[in-house]
Amino acid sequence: MRGSKEERARSGNRVQLVFEAVWEHSSRSQMHADRVRSLIFELEEGIEVRERLGLMSPGPALAADTLHPLVWKATRPHWDSGNHDAAVWAAAINVNTALKAKAERPDLGESKLVTAAFGTAAPETGQVRLRLCDESSPDLFKDRHVGAINLGQGLFSGVRNPLNHVGAEDLTEQEALETLAAWSLFARWVDRAEVVRGVSAD
């Protein structure tokens, strides 16, 4: 080890503490030079070197064909051709069409449609609401449905609509895949939701 005697002693003590934390029940007499060198390498360079060599776990991967069918079936032709903006657009249109059909509101645009479908108020006579849970837990009920409204409106306003505007930057492949994952989650909520129909009080 480099440095003065005092610096080596301080470094040796730090290495010893880390060594004992990594290899339990070890003592200084068991701390051979090769183990010290291995430990120092791990502390200083191990992660970086393994990353450069591709030896680190890449983490979870998202397979496009596991996205909700409402998303992937509409998206796939555009995705395979490399048109990521069109893929996201197609997913949005397909989910919107499915939501209009299930909520029975073909007359509403995206933001108003999402609010009408997942609103927390009871449906009026002849109209429907989509329910992700019952009202036995009021806080859970509110969170689920307000969350669905926020996600749906955010996707339409923040993702789908900007694709209409001149000057909007094209989505990268990674951005498009992450966006499709968000559409897939929203599509699953739409698919999973129970239809509750408003009835007359008579």
Domain boundaries, the chain: 5-52, 64-197
Q: At what angle do helices 110-118 and 138-155 cross, to 10 degrees?
A: 170
pLDDT for 60: 75
Mean pLDDT of the chain: 82
pLDDT at residue 37 greater than cutoff 70: no
Quote the percentage of the chain above a pLDDT of 70: 68
Report phi then psi at 16, rounded to 5: -60, -45
The tokens 């992450």 sit on which residue?
178
Find the range with the poorest average confidence among 44-58, 115-129, 175-189.
44-58
DSSP summary character for residue 198: B
pLDDT interval class at 61 (50, 70, 90):
confident
**Rounded distance between C-alpha atoms, residue 147 and residue 197, angstroms:** 21
Quote the percentage of the chain above a pLDDT of 90: 54
Tell me, rounded to whole angstroms, the distance of Cα 25 from its chain centroid: 42
Q: Cite the beta strand spans of the chain per DSSP E.
A: 128-131, 194-197
**Rounded distance between C-alpha atoms, residue 173 and residue 80, angstroms:** 11
Report phi then psi at 131, rounded to 5: -120, 125
Token pair of 39 as six digits: 């430990």
Contact status, residue 103 vs residue 196, Cβ threshold 8 Å: no
pLDDT for 56: 61
Find the range with the poorest average confidence among 9-13, 71-75, 120-124, 169-173.
9-13
Contact status, residue 158 vs residue 69, Cβ threshold 8 Å: no
Contact status, residue 198 vs residue 123, Cβ threshold 8 Å: yes
pLDDT for 169: 77
pLDDT digit string, tens, across residues 6-17: 665 655 665 566
Residues 6+ apart with CB under 8 A from 135: 141
Token pair of 66 as six digits: 């596991």
Token pair of 27 as six digits: 């003592």
**Rounded distance between C-alpha atoms, residue 147 and residue 189, angstroms:** 11
- The SS3 call for residue 196 is strand
pLDDT for 64: 82
Residue with the bigger pLDDT between 190 and 54: it is: 190
pLDDT at residue 92 greater than cutoff 80: yes
